[in-house]
Amino acid sequence: MATFIFTLSYLLIFVLSMVYINSNLFILWLFTSYPLAFLTVIIFYLLNFPIVLILRPTSRYKACLMKSLASFLNTWVLNLKVDVEGLENIPQAGPIVAYANHKSYTDAFAILQFFPRPITLTPKKTVLKIPFLKWWLKAYDVFPINRNSPKETLKDLEKAVSTVKNNHVILVFPEGSIKDRLSLKVEHAKAGSFRLVKEAQADILPIRFLGNDLARKRWPRRSKRKIIIYPPIPYQSFKDLNTKDIAKIFMDVINQES
């Protein structure tokens, strides 16, 4: 959707500039059409803002908007080439929490483009201080993480449990940051992050990100990412374990090919 709007806008702006302004400024229109087309996409999402606030978090249209935006950003902004393996391992229904290693700030966009179910994120609490973005993310039932206040995060956990039970997938990065992005293995998965899946009585969907870990430094050159989605770890297999043991099970799955 966003990519289609961008492409169509780019072509229309370019052609109209050539026809009605000055065809001799071919190079100028070629470059200025890009930011104007990008602005058109922004306007489209701003027009959809009231709809996003009204529709339920798991609405197919809202999920389509998010996937479309991720696809657009991956292709036209971040310049990412993403390959995904194991999409068939994603259950079509039922409560699941996706847990993934954290290799880059582009991880969320990379998976959002391909995930077939409504999925929401776990942004840092500080992100919710940005006016427009705050209400947009809240409309998707994100689970904000406050690293400086575990008590506040625990309070938000109750709502996150309800979100998962309503068949809305939450993507969690149990490492908490990308400081270990150059390591091939997940070495430190925070046990507390697995309270969500245990209290929601949901299955764990392990996801592994591979590829260029320094995409931010490579931009605008193309970066290649690969995503491996493993079969779910059923709740029944870890329901009697503590969160530390659950974290170990997750790390064993993620690290099995390292």
Query: Measured between alpha carbons, how far apart are the two ends of the chain, in Å?
Result: 37
Q: What percent of the chain has pLDDT over 90?
A: 59
pLDDT at 184: 72
Q: Is the pLDDT of residue 248 over 80?
A: yes
**pLDDT given at position 250:** 94
Closest to 140 measured CA to CA, from 230, 13, 53: 53
Q: What is the chain's alpha carbon radius of gyration, rounded to the nearest angstrom?
A: 20
pLDDT tens figures, 33-55: 999 999 999 999 999 999 999 99
Residue 134 maps to a domain: yes
> What pLDDT score was predicted for residue 158?
87
What is each CA distance from 212 to 45, 71, 78, in whole angstroms? Answer: 30, 18, 13
Alpha carbon distance 53, 44 (integer Å): 15
Condensed to tens digits (0 to 9), the pLDDT of residues 72-115 reads 999 888 888 899 999 999 999 999 999 999 888 888 889 999 99
Question: Would 49 be classed as within a structural domain?
Answer: no
Q: Is the pLDDT of residue 180 over 70?
A: no
21 occurs within a structural domain: no
Residue 233 lies in a domain: yes
Its pTM stands at 0.88
| 40 against 185, higher pLDDT | 40
Q: How far apart are CA 148 and CA 156, in angstroms?
A: 14
**pLDDT computed for residue 181 by the predictor:** 64
Examine residue 223 and state whether it is found in any structural domain, yes or no.
yes
Domain count, the chain: 1
Express each pLDDT in 10-31 by its tens digit: 999 999 998 888 888 888 888 9
Check residue 179 and give its pLDDT. Answer: 64
Question: Are the CB atoms for 62 and 168 separated by under 8 Å?
Answer: no
Structural domain includes residue 12:
no
Give mean pLDDT, residues 128-149: 86
The domain containing residue 171 runs over which residues? 79-254
Query: Residue 153: pLDDT above 70?
Result: yes
Percentage of the chain beyond pLDDT 70 is 93
Degrees (nearest 5) of the Cα angle 184, 185, 188?
Answer: 135
3-class state of residue 220 by DSSP: coil
Q: What pLDDT was estimated at residue 215? A: 66
Strands (E), 147-212: 169-172, 203-211
| CA-to-CA dists, residue 145 to 118, 151, 171, 202, 257, angstroms | 20, 10, 12, 20, 29
Strands 223-229 and 96-100, by their bridges, are unpaired
CB atoms within 10 A of CB 52: 19
**Mean of pLDDT over the chain:** 88
Domain-embedded: residue 15: no
Work out the pLDDT band at 131, boundaries 50, 70, 90: confident
Task: Indicate the burial class of 202 (C-beta count within 10 angstroms; 0-12, 13-18, 19 or more).
Answer: buried
Q: Residue 212: which CATH number?
A: 3.40.1130.10
Residue whose structure tokens are 């470059």: 31
Q: Is position 135 within any domain?
A: yes
Whole-number pLDDT of residue 182: 63
Taking only the tens place, the pLDDT of each residue in 195-242 is 999 999 999 999 999 876 666 666 677 788 899 999 999 999 999 999
pLDDT for position 86: 95
Q: What is the mean pLDDT of residues 166-189?
A: 81
Place of tokens 């149990």: 174
